[in-house]
Structure 1
């Protein structure tokens, strides 16, 4: 009765286009007054406790750092440096776009921000060199998915809070899958470029030009070194790293590159708060929603039901993958993580799947939703900044989705892709 009322009312509110946070709250209230699994006072207290989390402070801080660095000319310097190393390759502009997305992902922590920062420069550049326009747009949209895989990543922080695992462990585990996605995308780009005759840039850089470009890019390259080096070196926590990233972003963007004015900082800060407000509200309400699930033992009931059908680890992981791929096409990533983690985590842990490894499986699954219609946040961003028709991008995106699914299967069934680096660095997982 409780399960039917809770999820039935949630689906009803979502079908009525009620925002996810409000739908979660209303479904919880309907269930509380319908079957009284807990009091409204306890529900409210649980919501407040759900927000009383030190790691959550990193979410708006990383959003601010990513925004100010995106505006501060860092992406331009990274692209110039990538051109020096990869410019003469067949399909070089595509490869440069992917490599730049990998670097920028280690700054922004956001898929859409990565697409916007790199795409605004690289999509017109590819089109000017006779690249197929939808191919160029779909390439950048797909490369932008690494924004949530390469640390720092906001969805990783959300999952770590929801699952009760280490943020540092999640960050470290994300490097392997993120790099694997980058390599896979480069391989497909090289194949497509050779097939279509997309030649590289024949420009030969002088030693002086290489040194000048490298010197100009040093402040940009130091961002992931400072953030990730500080975390893995035990100098500061991920939340403290987010604060350091904000300070460093201000120094680089305002005082070194001078592409952001001091008077713009309040607006950027307000924009970061606005961006994260919805996520924070969802987290608070979902804490109460999750408490109802825990009291009524819904996750355990669902886990027992599935495990009674089959205990085959491979089959269950495939079923979960299909579910997450479907959910990712219509639900915002952070919302999906908050809602599904308490339900799916007990199932996979019963099969001896490492919770951090499962977190990477979940985030990679949902990141494919960034390029899958009808939601396709990265597709919409690429369409908006490049003026490519959304329908044309949808037609061009399917080969990239296949590449991403191949990587997903590798990450799912080869845990060491995620867990080897944390073990090497002696980071608990």
Structure 2
């Protein structure tokens, strides 16, 4: 992506910053693993959590597209280029059609109640295996046992973390830490909007230093009871928490995604951080819209609830 954008006239630092921000949008989209983890840790509806991420994901993506067009004109980039032929378009469409069916099957099954989110994971694995073996033929049957072994190892690590998180949650609850935290925050201010502001600041800072999954496992048991004391919907809280932690991934100076993007683009941290500023501002605007205008991200959730 970086070489292609550089050929069109975009600075490599801008392309790298775009990768850092746009690459994390998938964390907010349906089938988001952090949202699934939050739902598991907080005992919150997975279906509602996945639906809640639609608005911020598409809004952020659309805003970044507009920024690329505007910046492209200011950089004097070639925004046109040769259009593919109808045959090429049709060939590409046919190629992606089987893979495009996976989110349709999974989301359709979850939202219609045909299967649970846990069962959806099994369906996704089976669907993906069939595509890899028989449609795209990128995986050979003899490779399947090795793939399963790798999956078992990865799942074992995750389950160890989840088990440790369960013990930590039990300890936190037993020591009444959430109740004490809620009392301390209420002592500072009884306004839930002040609490949300403090929450945003704290979670972005946490997201700078920790990956979203361990961050959620550590902070969700702490903040969910506190948020309930302020009358905040757990689904809304989950979306806010995941969005903040995602922003932390590319927040200078130590956001992990930013380092990776700088290495891919072969530019310095100062250069990529400078190009990141407008994208970071856009992400913050979307975040505060999601935080303080609850009806926008929660509209689909409320519709599902009837």
Normalised TM-score (structure 1) = 0.67
Query: 308-317 or 368-377: which moved more?
Result: 368-377
Label 1:133 to 1:269 Cα distance change in 2 as closer, same or farther (>3 A).
Answer: farther
CA distance in 1, matches of 2:144, 2:259: 27
The reply on whether 1:310 has 2:176 as its aligned counterpart is no
Query: Aligned residue for 1:129?
Result: 8
Answer 1 or 2: higher relative contact order, Cα 8 Å, separation at least 6.
2
Aligned ranges for residues 211-250 of structure 1 at < 5 Å? Answer: 211-250=90-129
Secondary structure, counterpart of 2:166 in structure 1: helix
1:335-366 Cα offsets, whole Å, 9 max, x none, are 11111112212222112111100100000000
Q: Secondary structure at the match of 1:425?
A: helix
Name the residue aligned to 2:204.
Answer: 325
Structure 2 residue 161 is the aligned partner of structure 1 residue 290: no
What are the equivalent positions in structure 2 for 1:6-405 lying under 5 Å apart?
Answer: 122-390=1-269, 392-405=271-284
**Alpha-carbon separation, structure 2, partners of 1:262 and 1:186:** 41
Structure 2 gaps of 5+ residues are: none
How many residues get paired? Answer: 306
Confirm or deny: 8 A CA contact 1:331 1:375 kept in the other structure.
no
User: CA separation in 1, counterparts of 2:261 and 2:145?
Assistant: 27
Q: Is the 8 A contact 2:72 2:79 kept in 1?
A: no
CA distance in 2, matches of 1:275, 1:377: 21
- SS in structure 2 of the partner of residue 329 of structure 1: helix
Q: How far is 1:332 from its partner? A: 1.8
CA RMSD of aligned residues (A): 2.1
Distance 1:366 1:161 in 2: 17
Q: Where does the alignment leave 5 or more consecutive residues of structure 1 unmatched? A: 1-121
Find the aligned partners of 2:37 and 2:132 in 1 and give their Cα distance: 27
Distance 2:89 2:60 in 1: 28
In the alignment, is the contact (CA less than 8 A) between 1:149 and 1:174 conserved in 2? yes
What is the TM-score normalised by the length of structure 2?
Answer: 0.92
Distance between the aligned counterparts of 1:392 and 1:264, measured in 2? 43
SS in 2 for 1:223: helix
